[in-house]
Amino acid sequence: MDRIFGDSPSLEDDFVVINFFALEGWNLAELFHVRCVVAAPYVVPYSAPCSFERRFKKDIPILYKYLQRVPTHRVCWKDVTHWMWPLFTEDWGSWRSKLHLSPCPFTDPITGLPTTHDWAPSPLLLYGFSKEVVECPGYWPSNVRVCGFWFVHMEWQFSCNECGERSVLFSKRHLDLKDELCSTHVELQRFLMGSTSNTPIFIGFSSIGSMGFLRNSRAFLQVLEAVMEVTSYRFILFTAGYEPLDSAIHELSRELYCSDRNICCEDGVLLRDNLFCFSG
């Protein structure tokens, strides 16, 4: 960070971009006196404990009162309750101490009083989803911006480097990529193009499985089976390599082995023509 910000004669246009799982960046931005922007493809995945406001009001009463009455275009209580509250927990105390910052954000390191003379504007929070999907209530901070879904470059959309490299070459030559894809991505592309009237629904748990929140993989697959039995919905299930879910998928695939609606390739499984599963 010193190499990035330390040699510049002007930091006016510099900023740090973080997500909700990289709050270290907020403290670094404070250290170097640069703006901090938050970018997230989803709504805040956690909420403050029910006792947070009561303890905040008791432990830091002057800062609490100031956050309540400060204009909404500045950092205010809405920002704290929406996403900033972890910054005030003890977890960040030692980190801020190493950076020679005050123990509590927005306070003077000597007096402990709010730094009202240099109060920060409300941080820009960019959400990468659509208002058609997630409601944006009026109690959110004033500087929240819903930008629509973010789409990555073509080569980043492949889980294997080989297909990613080929996608760049073929996009420049305007050739048909499907003839050069690996077996997994060929099957996935066929599934995507199989019906123009019924776009697949993507289901991706990211790290939810490895964190222990998906306790019964087979029960989840049974729910999807039930939905497919009574609807025409099609699904793409991304397992992110979560072994219990992958095992449940292959077990179900073996049970459906006699069915012509079951296709397996190296890293993907098509079940009942309506569910394409891949681990990434």
Q: What DSSP string describes the chain? A: -HHHHTT-S--TT-EEEE-TT-THHHHHHHHHT-EEEEEESSS-S----TTHHHHHHHHSHHHHHHHHHS-TTBS-HHHIIIIIGGGGSGGGHHHHHHTT--SSTTB-TTT--B-GGGPPBPPPEEE-S-TTTS---TTS-TTEEE-------GGGG-SSHHHHHHHHHHHHHT--GGGTS-HHHHHHHHHHTS-SSSPPEEEE-TTTTTTT----HHHHHHHHHHHHHHS---EEEE-TT-HHHHHHHHHHHHHTTTSTTEEE-SSEEEETTTEEEE--
Mean pLDDT value across residues 12-32? 89
Query: Alpha-carbon torsion 75, 118, 26, 107, what sign?
Result: negative
Instruction: Give the per-residue pLDDT at 219.
Output: 93
Instruction: Give the per-residue pLDDT at 86.
Output: 93
Query: Is the per-residue pLDDT at 5 higher than 60?
Result: no
Residue % of the chain over a pLDDT of 70: 81
239 with 278: CB under 8 angstroms?
A: yes
Q: How far apart are CA 6 and CA 231, in angstroms?
A: 59
Lowest mean pLDDT among 14-18, 137-141, 150-154, 247-251: 150-154
pLDDT tens digits along 193-202: 776 677 888 8
Q: Which residue has the higher pLDDT, 136 or 56?
A: 56
Lowest mean pLDDT among 60-74, 118-132, 159-173: 159-173
Torsion on CA atoms 264, 270, 273, 275, rounded to nearest 10 = 170
pTM above 0.75, yes or no: no
Query: Alpha-carbon torsion 157, 210, 147, 189, what sign?
Result: positive
pLDDT tens digits along 219-272: 999 999 899 889 888 898 888 888 899 899 888 888 776 554 555 545 567 777
Record the tokens describing residue 215, joined without a space: 């306790």
For the chain, the average pLDDT equals 82
Report which of 238, 236, 251, 241 is spatially closest to residue 210, judged by C-alpha positions.
Answer: 241
Mean pLDDT value across residues 55-71? 96
Lowest mean pLDDT among 37-41, 259-263, 271-275: 259-263
Instruction: Give the per-residue pLDDT at 191.
Output: 74
141 with 82: CB under 8 angstroms?
A: yes
Q: How far apart are CA 192 and CA 200, in angstroms?
A: 7
Instruction: Give the per-residue pLDDT at 8.
Output: 52
**Which of the four pLDDT bands, split at 50, 70 and 90, describes residue 114?**
very high
Query: At which residue do the structure tokens 């409601």 appear?
Result: 135
CB-based burial of residue 236 (10 Å sphere; 0-12 exposed, 13-18 middle, 19+ buried)?
middle
Instruction: Give the per-residue pLDDT at 4.
Output: 46
Q: How far apart are CA 78 and CA 63, in angstroms?
A: 14
Q: Give the relative orientation of helices 52-59 and 61-69 as an angle to the nearest 10 degrees.
A: 110
